[in-house]
């Protein structure tokens, strides 16, 4: 899915949704806005996982509907700016991703890094801040959930994990969710896999959840499990049950 109309940094869907979950999909789109061009990549590379998280947006929207949740999503390819990375990180505007060189990111001038940061990163995180603050002001205790997908094979090595649950410094919600998922599904569920905070993938959680103690988790679904709208809807239904079931486990903990 290419978000052809989106030349802005962020879209907020369901801003007035009454639920306490705040959903985030940083890598929702493989759109390459005209001002940055195609970064020297061919069509196949622009459609590949390096440019976005296939299936993640459909899953996030399915979750938002069921959870009555707001969804904050990115609208440009993560190769232009990876919204889950801080501006000083090399991965924010990577020169290489997996086996692909990214010519349009090679030796970027500082002025261009700043321009992309101001155009994409700052508005996205300001919008997410606003959604969390709005709920806090209304007496709603937000739960921050970021939605991602990963490839079944990485550098030639198959991945057995099907659902990865990743956390920043507070493991409680991810751990509770893993327990529910193992009890209620047949999925191969792993904590902090195929990535973890040590890989620099929890920036959104670290920026928006950790400082104010919000329950949080990063969902990583193997993308062959959410490759179609039907599969995305089925997974959203399953995960909705788990996300709700895990909350009492942490809220009853002293």
- The CB-based long-range contact list for 174-183 (8 Å cut-off, 24+ gap) reads 174/216, 174/217, 174/218, 176/246, 176/247, 176/249, 176/250, 177/217, 177/242, 177/243, 177/246, 179/246, 179/249, 180/242, 180/245, 180/246, 180/249, 181/242
Collect all residues with Cβ–Cβ distance below 8 Å to 24 and sequence separation of at least 6: 60, 71, 72, 73, 128, 144, 145, 146, 147, 204
- Percent of the chain, pLDDT > 70? 96
Q: For 101-123, what is each residue's pLDDT tens digit?
A: 999 999 999 999 999 999 999 99
Any idea what the Cα angle at residue 27 is, between residues 60 and 211, rounded to 5°? 80
In the structure, what pLDDT confidence band is assigned to residue 3 with cuts at 50, 70 and 90? Answer: very low
- Chain-centre distance for alpha carbon 222: 13
In the structure, what pLDDT confidence band is assigned to residue 5 with cuts at 50, 70 and 90? Answer: very low
**pLDDT computed for residue 98 by the predictor:** 74
Q: For 66-83, what is each residue's pLDDT tens digit?
A: 999 999 999 999 999 999
**pLDDT computed for residue 103 by the predictor:** 95
**pLDDT computed for residue 156 by the predictor:** 77
Q: For 164-218, what is each residue's pLDDT tens digit?
A: 999 999 999 999 999 999 999 999 999 999 999 999 999 999 999 999 999 999 9
Asked if the model's pLDDT at residue 228 lies above 60, the reply is yes
**pLDDT computed for residue 155 by the predictor:** 74
Asked if the model's pLDDT at residue 51 lies above 50, the reply is yes
Average pLDDT, rounded, for the chain: 94
**pLDDT computed for residue 4 by the predictor:** 37
């Amino acid at each position: 899915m290419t978000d052809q109309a989106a030349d802005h940094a962020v879209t907020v869907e369901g801003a007035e949704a009454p639920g306490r979950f705040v959903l985030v999909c940083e890598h929702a789109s493989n759109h390459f806005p005209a001002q940055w061009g195609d970064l020297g990549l061919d069509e196949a590379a622009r459609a590949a996982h390096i440019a976005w998280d296939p299936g993640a947006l459909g899953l996030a929207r399915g979750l938002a509907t069921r959870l009555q949740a707001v969804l904050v999503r990115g609208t440009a390819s993560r190769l232009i700016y990876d919204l889950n990375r801080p501006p000083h990180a090399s991965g924010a505007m990577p020169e290489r991703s997996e086996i692909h060189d990214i010519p349009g990111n090679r030796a970027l001038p500082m002025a261009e890094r700043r321009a992309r940061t101001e155009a994409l990163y700052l508005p996205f995180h300001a919008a997410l801040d606003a959604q969390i603050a709005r709920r806090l002001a209304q007496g709603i205790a937000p739960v921050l959930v970021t939605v991602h997908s990963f490839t079944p094979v990485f550098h030639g090595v198959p991945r057995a994990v099907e659902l990865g649950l990743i956390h920043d410094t507070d493991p409680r919600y991810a751990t509770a969710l893993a327990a529910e998922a193992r009890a209620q599904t047949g999925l191969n569920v792993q904590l902090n896999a195929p990535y973890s905070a040590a890989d620099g993938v929890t920036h959104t959680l670290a920026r928006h959840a950790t400082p104010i103690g919000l329950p949080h988790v990063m969902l990583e679904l193997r993308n062959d499990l959410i490759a179609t709208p039907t599969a995305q809807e089925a997974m959203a239904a399953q995960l909705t049950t788990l996300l709700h079931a895990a909350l009492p486990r942490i809220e009853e903990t002293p």
